[in-house]
Amino acid sequence: MIVALIDSGLGMVPTAARLRSLRPELDLVLMMDPDNAPWGPKPDRWVIDRVVGTAQHAVDLGAEVVVLPCNTASVTALSHVRAALGDSVPVVGTVPAIKPAAAVSDRIAIWATAATTASAYQARLIEDFASHRTVTSVACHGLADAIDRGDATCISAAITAAVASTPDDVESIVMGCTHYPLVLDEIVAKLPTRVTMFDSAEAVANQTVRRVDEVGSAVSGTGRVSVWLSGVEGELPASAQRYREGQLLLDSAGVHRF
User: Could you confirm whether 154 is annotated as catalytic?
Assistant: no
Instruction: Look up residue 40 and give its DSSP letter.
Output: T
Q: Which of 13, 16, 51, 70 is catalytic?
A: 70
Q: Which of 233, 201, 227 is nearest to 22 (CA)?
A: 201
Return the percent helix, strand and coil in the chain, to nearest 5.
Answer: 50, 15, 35
Angle at 251 between CA 247 and CA 257, to 5 degrees: 100
- Segments in the chain forming alpha helices (H): 13-22, 44-60, 71-85, 98-104, 114-117, 120-129, 143-149, 152-164, 184-189, 201-215, 244-251
In three-state secondary structure terms, 236 is coil
How far apart, in whole angstroms, are the C-alpha atoms of residue 186 and residue 175? Answer: 13
User: Could you confirm whether 140 is annotated as catalytic?
Assistant: no
Residue 182's contacts (CB-CB under 8 Å, 6 or more residues apart) are 10, 13, 14, 147, 243, 245, 246
Q: Which of 32, 177, 187, 212 is catalytic?
A: 177
Strand-pairing partners, residue 47, are none
Phi, psi dihedrals of residue 22, rounded to the nearest 5°: -75, -45
Catalytic residues: 70, 177
